[in-house]
Amino acid sequence: MSLHITKIDIRNFRSARNLSLSTGRLAVLVGKNDSGKSNVLRALNLFFNSRTMPDDALDFEVDHCVFNSPTKRAKEISIKLEIELPETYKATNGDFVVWERRWRSEGLVYDEYSGQRRVAGPRGGTKLDTVEIPKKSNAHALLRNINFVYVPAIKDLEYFSELRASIYDIIAEVADREFRVSSQEFEKSISHQLEDLTNHITASLGFRSRLALPKDLSHIFESLDFLSEGLDISLDARGDGIKARHIPLILKFMADKKRGLQVRGAQPHTFIWGYEEPENNLELSSCVELADQFWGFIDHGVSQIILTTHSPVFYNLHRKQEEGDGLISCHHIFREADEAGTKQVTELGDLDDRMGTTALFAPMVTELEDRVRRQEQARTEVEQLAQANRRKIFVEGDSDKLIIEKALIVFANERAAEIDVETKVGAGINYVIDMLHSWRSRAKHHPELPKAAGLLDRDAEAQSALKRWNDVSDNIKSAKCFMLPTPPHLFPVLKAGFKVPVVLECLYDKEAWNWADNRGHLKARNFRSVIPDELFGQIVNDETKLDDHLHEDWAIFVKMEFDQAGKGPIARHFANKADDDFRARMPFLEKRIAEIVAYLFPEDVQEPGGDPAQPEDGAKQ
């Protein structure tokens, strides 16, 4: 693990009169406009790069806090950091380093650091002992190799030009010899084309002249472009959101390349980003992807990211971690009413109260974030699955996969080997719909992609999801949704008014439910959810009993349900049955399987079967 900043103390820098915060590996600073969030990043940029902004040196008269008016000492800016050291450095140099720098009107006047070791105190707890870092310690080089990268809120064309120019420095280091050879070949080509001009210059002026590339090619790299494949659209012509998504990828590339230059035994480079308002110009889905990307970068090329934001997506990042895990920290930066300078709080409860509308919207955005993350994961999975170029059926879980694979063998044996049944742990309805959505999206750009089907339970939520999907004619061109059929043994249950949801386990007959009950795989159902309201009222008022309204042939389907642990054993029990036995016990699956296969292989039939969105006769829900 690389080193990282664990605490920041800022005194008298801009609006920060007295600001202190303990930062995680991904630190999120939230607050209103002009509250001082950006000044934390500018202070870090001053500390590491001697500049407040990428192009601005310290202007003490402007950058010194106006609220600081000492009477007996000179005005001074102080920035102090606590930096956690990697484990291999702690034995000699302490657990962490305290590094302080101070500036006065004449410039930097103090720059010292020392190690600190946590030791047991005399009465319990811990105390800190100062450790003098040896002159020959590698910790000095480790601290010098901290690369703080500041990304401003306004990411204009000038910023992108400078960013692209900085790629040259990395390339020149990484591929110095190869780069020189390529440059020389380019020079020769130019010289050949302009040979007449150089000959005229030589004849006229009396000395030989040749053309050469400049030693520093960074200005050429400022014009470096990224073209969209196929359309050759320049990055400069793309929207601000697309440009913004390039920034962390370019920075990560440069960090990885620079680390790759490390000679054996040299002290590693540490990359810390100070990122202002990464959500600028991004819609919600891109914000979610970028937030996850930042989190994925931590300890994979980037040691720490400290960012400012107004977006609930980034504010919500602290909800990603387990309670007590300090990898992500969220801080509210605010200014006291008397404007005595910027201060901050880190307690999340207080943070939620103070953040007002941002905190109010955050839980609402969480559901949207989850949907975006699911869809992005589905897109990735579909890209991998599509490589096989096979028909797919997406189902809600492992039990569904076992039964549908068996049903394909029994009822569509000639096509079973050409169809993959796909699911994952905890899949559910969202998984099926997300995979269909991603499959359809891919098919729009790859019309040769085989068709895919989704198969859902027959409950109210599934019926609504199926209708929303299949009612869009463009969707079912390449991905269609189906539902499980209602088995005949449930017809009398539903006709009696009991609202039993038709899930996979309802396809098993009474004999199978008794088999499962004898093995402890069933549990009592919360029958309030399935009993008609009028009957429930009568039962509550002791006017009747539930058993008086149940028939022994189907009472078990109303009173019991499968527990989670029992779903796998009953599915395996049925999937292992002989084909003829399976066919005899689940004949109602044949029609549904035929409909799905007809959709996946339209060349086999002229007209597919009935509309899967409609329940069978007798199945009233």
505 in a structural domain = yes
Q: Which two tokens stand for residue 130?
A: 């100062």
What CATH number corresponds to the domain at position 593?
Answer: 3.40.50
pLDDT in tens, 217-274: 555 555 555 555 555 555 555 566 777 888 888 888 888 877 776 666 678 889 999 9
Q: Which two tokens stand for residue 327?
A: 């990898």
547 in a structural domain = yes
360 in a structural domain = no
84 in a structural domain = no
Q: Which residue has the higher pLDDT, 620 or 419?
A: 419
Alpha-carbon distance values, 594 to 98, 168, 411, 590 (Å): 71, 61, 7, 6
- Is residue 572 located within the same domain as residue 595? no
Dihedral angle at the C-alpha atoms of 8, 14, 19, 22, nearest 10 degrees?
A: -30
Separation between Cα atoms, residue 423 and residue 395, nearest integer Å: 6
324 in a structural domain = no
Mean pLDDT of 125-151: 91
Separation between Cα atoms, residue 600 and residue 594, nearest integer Å: 10
- Is residue 397 located within the same domain as residue 453? yes
Q: Which residue has the tokens 């402007």?
A: 62
Q: Is the pLDDT of residue 88 over 70?
A: yes
- Is residue 456 located within the same domain as residue 599? yes
- Is residue 436 located within the same domain as residue 568? no
- Is residue 516 located within the same domain as residue 592? no
Q: Which residue has the higher pLDDT, 437 or 182?
A: 437
pLDDT score, position 283 = 79
Are 78 and 87 contacting, i.e. CB atoms less than 8 angstroms apart? no
pLDDT score, position 457 = 94
pLDDT score, position 342 = 52
Q: Which residue has the higher pLDDT, 35 or 200?
A: 35
pLDDT in tens, 155-175: 777 777 777 777 767 666 655
Of 40-44, 69-73, 546-550, the poorest mean pLDDT is in 69-73
130 in a structural domain = no
Portion of the chain with pLDDT greater than 90, in percent: 48
Q: Is the pLDDT of residue 618 over 50?
A: no
- Is residue 479 located within the same domain as residue 547? no
Alpha-carbon distance values, 315 to 296, 374, 531 (Å): 17, 20, 43
**For residue 321, what pLDDT band results from cuts at 50, 70 and 90?**
low
State which amino acid sits at residue 19: L
- Is residue 432 located within the same domain as residue 548? no
Alpha-carbon distance values, 338 to 10, 39, 67, 153, 341 (Å): 19, 19, 11, 28, 8
Separation between Cα atoms, residue 323 and residue 244, nearest integer Å: 32
Q: Which two tokens stand for residue 237?
A: 């012509």
Separation between Cα atoms, residue 561 and residue 538, nearest integer Å: 23
pLDDT score, position 249 = 87
Separation between Cα atoms, residue 272 and residue 83, nearest integer Å: 12
- Is residue 549 located within the same domain as residue 599? no
Are 14 and 39 contacting, i.e. CB atoms less than 8 angstroms apart? yes
State which amino acid sits at residue 172: A
289 in a structural domain = no
Q: Is the pLDDT of residue 563 over 90?
A: yes
Show the domain range for 386: 368-486+588-604
- Is residue 461 located within the same domain as residue 379? yes
Q: Is the pLDDT of residue 620 over 50?
A: no
State which amino acid sits at residue 20: S
At 526, give phi and psi (nearest 5°). Answer: -75, 85
**3-class DSSP assignment, residue 34:** coil
- Is residue 482 located within the same domain as residue 597? yes
Cα torsion 489, 493, 495, 500: sign: negative
**3-class DSSP assignment, residue 541:** coil
**3-class DSSP assignment, residue 105:** coil
pLDDT score, position 255 = 85
- Is residue 373 located within the same domain as residue 457? yes
pLDDT in tens, 324-382: 567 888 888 877 655 555 555 444 444 555 555 555 555 656 667 777 777 777 888 88
pLDDT in tens, 279-298: 887 877 788 888 888 988 98
Mean pLDDT of 198-209: 68
Are 289 and 313 contacting, i.e. CB atoms less than 8 angstroms apart? no
* Number of domains into which the chain is organized: 3
User: pTM here?
Assistant: 0.64
- Is residue 481 located within the same domain as residue 592? yes
Q: Which residue has the higher pLDDT, 527 or 307?
A: 307
540 in a structural domain = yes
Domain boundary among 196, 221, 244: 244
State which amino acid sits at residue 184: Q
Separation between Cα atoms, residue 63 and residue 37, nearest integer Å: 15
